[in-house]
Chain A
Amino acid sequence: MTKNKASSSPSTTARGQRAPKGVLRRLLRTLFEFYPVLLPVTILCILINAIVSAIPAVFLQKVIAVVDETYQSGDWSSVAGRILTYVLVLVIMYIISLIAGTFYTQMMAIITQGSLKKLREKMFSHMQDLPIKYFDTNGHGDIMSYYTNDVDTLRQMISQSLPQMTIAGITLLVVFCIMMYYSIILALLVVAGIVCMVISARAITNRSSKYFLRQQVTLAKAEAFMEEMMTGQKVIKVFCHENGAKEDFDKVNGEIFFNARNGNRFANILMPLLGNIGNVMYVVVALVGGALLLSDIPNISISGMAFSISIVVPFLNMTKQFAGSVGQVSNQINMVIMGLAGAHRIFALLDEEPETDEGYVTLVNATENPDGSVSECKETTNVWAWKHQHHDGTVTYTRLQGDVRFFDVNFGYTPEKTVLHNISLYAKPGQKVAFVGSTGAGKTTITNLINRFYDINDGKIRYDGININKIKKSDLRRSLGIVLQDTNLFTGTVMENIRYGNLKACDEECIAAAELAGADDFIRRLPEGYNTMLTGNGANLSQGQRQLLAIARAAVADPPVMILDEATSSIDTRTEAIVQRGMDALMTGRTVFVIAHRLSTVHNADAIMVLDHGRIIERGTHDDLLKLKGTYYQLYTGALELD
């Protein structure tokens, strides 16, 4: 559902869009920040390599010219020294080029991978700081693609396209200068050819990108279709609907094929077209060169050399080199566009506003003084206190008790739509407060306000008398244990998953928590007991078993306030009774908020709040509410359906 939301709301960083200006500059700046020394050195090597690989053509020509001259005169002894010098220079240049080439490619591999690593690190740590709201509005698949697609396009761009384009650009420049040196007329001819290449490259890229963009859309459609089919595969089998599914699939698959084929038909044209324009250019230069050679038109050039075979032949080779470089650049352009779009999205993620936290009240371990007050201490105790740092420098301590009060709270996920209206409630330390109501009534929303996943619009929430906005978020959340409706398990052993609740807990404590949660029994029957590896969000466990693990995880955290959001919905009633006995023992004297579908789970609560459309419509104990003969009574007697 979140996915639908994300795709329907136009986001500023949608796929298939070109990056705005400035992204390249920011990307380069980031790279320089990552490698302030290595990167300039590497760039220098790229330059050396490019220049040195372009120049030897000239030397080669000189050597051949000398050989040619001498061959005609027959006087080898006088030029032997000159030839040797030229060859030696050539060898030295090759060696320099080789060293620079080896160095820059190796360094580029390090820089690329290192930069991507640092970028990913930044992205992940920034992601941890983002508010829950961000994850509500952006689909998981979409966020994942930052790490997969976008980083990958960036990798290709940094490691391949940028160096190659630099080299090709320098080669173009050097070759162009040499051409001008030999003959301006022929050089202009080549430039005209290049203009042709650029125009046709643009025309083709525009056409192919039209289909590629459509392909992105059909691919997304296909992915949605397949997700639905694969999720419902077991239902398809039960209804023997395999052939119907195949027919639907063929339609979607045909669409992808159509767009991919057309897009790539144009994209494939690019290289042969550019290559052959290069060939045509070669022929034209040859013909014109030949004509010029025969006619007596004076050569216009920087060197002032007259036309001769020794100009036309190297010129022809340079024409090939030139065309090759242009082809290389245009081949990389698509990658650069995609890479920049990826960089743009990554920067957008990094610029996303993090969760704000102005809280200054912190949670500390405390000891109880004889007079009933508390004072801070270093060692772990079972007593916790809120440390209040006042503006005047004084510090006061309030004992953590778990007293939570709502005063006229209003809240909406978006400013336009208020989903909670005038919620006032109190939970005294040790009380069990239950929320009952249909889906969308606002039960989960209330608990999300206590731990500040979302901030209220209006009203006050007090925790032990402190405004929760003043409490540091991490400390606030540490004081609350939450068991969510959907259990998330991590790749790792069962033991590690329980320990997630309290990283300092030893094995015995984890096992004790599992026993308390009624999970010990099934864990011991797993192939490797507590050391059984869980993968794929605990796919091999039943929904009920996963919930038991989540409860064990919360139990090992041992928090003063506990929020149970449909925590036992998939556990059978008998096991639930066992779990509840354990939890009741654990939570004696502590505050518990319970959301449950099953009324048996909540009937012994100190207060039951019946919610409807964001309002508390009934409140009281089980017996009070039955006497009231209102909504709760109807629910209880089965006259009303909870959805």
Chain B
Amino acid sequence: MKSLKTLLRYLGPYRKDMITGALLVIIETGFELIIPILMADLIDIGTAHHDIPYILHKGGQMAICALLSLVTGLLYAKFAARASYGWGSRIREAQFERVQEFSFSNLDRFETSSLITRMTTDVTILQNAVNGGFRPMVRGPVMLIFGLFLSFRMNTKLAFIFVFCAPVLGIILFYIVNKIAPRYLLLQKAVDKLNNTVQESLTAIRTVKAFVRGEYEQEKFDKVNKTMSDTSQDTFKYAVLNMPAFQLTLYTAIILIMWFGGNMIINSSLQVGELTGFLSYVFQIMNSMMMISNVFLLLSRSLSSAQRISEVLDEKIMLTSPENGETNIPAGSVCFENVSFKYKENAKAYALSCVNLNIKEGQTVGIIGGTGSAKTTLVQLIPRLYDATEGSVKVGGHDVREYDLKTLRDGVGIVLQKNVLFSGTIRENLLWGNPHADDETIHEACRAACVDDFISNLPQGLDTMLEHGGVNVSGGQKQRICIARTLLKHPKILIFDDSTSAVDTATEASIRKSLGNIREMTKIIIAQRISSVIETDQIIVMNDGRVIANGTHEQLLQNEPIYREIYESQTRGGEFSAGKTNQLEKA
């Protein structure tokens, strides 16, 4: 319930609506409860004395009550809907904003699909629970208090039956809710597990079919399916107890009232009309307690959603911009001083260990290394996508942590390995690099990225729509648009993280050439192909999180066996053909 309370703080301006709605329900319930009292008068006095004006008078009062109750009821609907769904929309917004503040390491902790669920399904569950529970939550206590008050006023002795019955029902209901709340969490876990199993075998359907593992998957599914149904049977067995519990106390109360009431009538201390009136309160009081317990059940079902949302909102942002950070990057030099890094604080092994590097402004640097050798990790420390665990990364002579984050990231352009374009026109995507760029600037960047011909050949040119993530352009074209987007930032340092893997070698060479013309820009290129880095000022060879060698192509070829092995694997494989070497020489 704590996470739910925290989330209620996000009501903001809708708090007023919620309070107004609650007041309206109280008024509505009040009017509704007055009607039977007026009715009792009508019957007891009006009909007994055949007093027609009195009957009409009371009838009119009742009609006004019913009408007012109707009006307040309709008004409540508006306020409650606005409050619940306004609240939900604010929670969604808060989550989205929070995610925007997330650093890369925060993002690594959440799966994309789970973030989406937290912002959609979980919020929907929560706001529906609040909207649905709103009326009974307010009505229940009002009816309970009112019913108790009236029954005590009518006959204190008989009302003591409620003092006995109500707590009994209360205790039973409390016991049920208490039993169920933890089970709902278990149930949610079982549901997640089941969904995960289905999801996995869905995405892997080709693998499953190729290996003829249908039966194996079925067995796996049956196991989680059984756990899930056992857990839910166990949970709902308790949940449905509230109905018999309600009936039990209701019936007991009726019998007790009949018994004691009957005796009181015999002793002449009770009127028959009072007895009938009393019986109608039994229903009202017990019913109101049911309502309250149902709301608790409803809310405890939504608790796991509330918890998941809180996880996003309470996530500690691991990396923030310093206050009054440096807003000017003096130079494009990069320096690593004894840098070690691990992705998680409690991870045993370091992803990067003891890296020392010195890259001068305007240099072109290549990084080569095997799968999982931490090339990407290394360059991500430069625009401070992650913070070094030990040591210091310096850009332009200052530690990256001293810069204002926006300044740093604007100054260090990185073309990510897993890059994406967004729905919208090509122009809109390019403007991410520089919102104020005019067509001339855009074309210049596109020329440098060798994508200008492609774009101008499109019927709508820069205004061509990119469908969901750019599925309508090929991999190579997508990579080149991403490069142009980064170039528009005019960064001091440009990092390519295997950014031309889908671009053919000839085009790649000409992109490299046009980049070479921007002399003052420092260029860091991660590549699979040695041909991409062969002519750089220095090549860094990485293996298992360490820089094992550093030098020019010729130096490394002579002194570094791993580098030589990579080189040979590629020349033998035909990546280096006569034609391409020629091109390289030309470049």
Contacts and interface: CB of A to CB of B under 8 A. Distances in A.
A600 B570 contact: yes
Contacts of A71: 265-266, 272
B272 A280 contact: no
Interface string A273-314: 101110110110011001101100000000000000100110
Interface stretch (A218-226, A337-345, A457-465): A218-226
Nearest to A642: B504
A571 interface: yes
Contact of A87 (B199, B258, B272): B258
Given A148-B195, A257-B89, A265-B81, A67 B349 contact: no
Contacts of A279: 32, 35, 65-66, 69-70
Nearest to B570: A573
B528 A91 contact: no
Contacts of A41: none
A220 to B, nearest CB: 10
Given A71-B272, A124-B218, A98 B569 contact: no
Contact of B74 (A224, A257, A272, A451): A272
A101 B280 contact: no
Interface string A256-273: 110011101111110111
A239 B212 contact: no
A223 B468 CA distance: 13
A601 B575 CA distance: 10
Contacts of A4: 467-468
A60 B131 CA distance: 38
Chain B CB within 10 Å — which of A125, A135, A490 has the most?
A490
A438 B504 CA distance: 12
Contacts of A577: 569, 573
A254 B32 contact: no
Contacts of B69: 272, 276, 279
Given A116-B229, A140-B202, A101 B236 contact: no
B404 to A, nearest CB: 10
Interface string B84-102: 1110110011001101111
B248 A98 contact: yes
A106 B240 contact: yes
Given A249-B96, A639-B506, A260 B349 contact: no
A223 B116 contact: yes
Contacts of B239: 109
Contacts of A102: 241, 244
Contacts of A551: none
Given A268-B76, A294-B47, A641-B503, A484 B207 contact: yes
B354 interface: no
Given A108-B240, A501-B211, A570-B371, A287 B76 contact: no
Nearest to A155: B232
Contacts of A235: 416, 419-420
B356 interface: no
B251 A643 contact: no
A253 B372 contact: no
Contacts of B214: 128-129
Interface residues of A, number: 154
Contacts of B476: 641, 643
Interface stretch (B38-46, B325-333, B457-465): B38-46
A638 B100 contact: no
A147 B453 CA distance: 48
Interface residues of B, number: 165
A21 to B, nearest CB: 29
B52 A294 contact: yes
Contact of B255 (A94, A132, A312): A94
A24 interface: no
B247 A97 contact: yes
Contacts of A132: 205-206, 209
Contacts of B197: 491
A85 interface: no
B383 interface: yes
B208 interface: yes
B432 interface: yes
B110 to A, nearest CB: 9
Interface in B534-587: 544, 562, 565-566, 569-570, 572-575, 577-580, 583
A260 B127 contact: yes
A396 interface: no
B112 interface: yes
Contacts of A640: 504
A480 interface: yes
A423 interface: no
Contacts of B574: 599-600, 603, 622, 636
B26 interface: no
B279 to A, nearest CB: 7
Interface stretch (B165-173, B388-396, B406-414): B406-414
B5 interface: no
B228 interface: yes
Given A228-B422, A317-B280, A240 B409 contact: yes
B427 interface: no
B520 interface: no
Contacts of A641: 476, 503-504, 506-507
B272 to A, nearest CB: 5
Nearest to A83: B262
Most chain B Cβ neighbours within 10 Å, of A94, A453, A478: A94
Contact of B229 (A117, A287, A522): A117
B204 interface: yes
Contacts of B96: 226, 229, 245-246, 249, 253
Nearest to B268: A71
A98 B243 contact: no
Nearest to B104: A234
B89 A256 contact: yes
Interface stretch (B145-153, B219-227, B303-311, B357-365): B219-227
Interface in A569-624: 570-577, 598-601, 603, 622
Given A71-B272, A117-B228, A228-B469, 12 more contacts: A56-B254, A117-B225, A120-B194, A121-B221, A121-B222, A135-B205, A219-B120, A239-B409, A276-B73, A279-B69, A490-B200, A600-B575
22 contacts: A53-B247, A56-B254, A71-B272, A102-B241, A106-B237, A117-B228, A128-B208, A140-B202, A228-B422, A232-B469, A244-B432, A253-B92, A253-B93, A272-B74, A291-B55, A312-B47, A313-B276, A542-B371, A600-B574, A638-B577, A638-B580, A643-B476
Closest 6 CB pairs of A and B: A600-B573, A272-B73, A637-B579, A544-B371, A488-B204, A641-B504
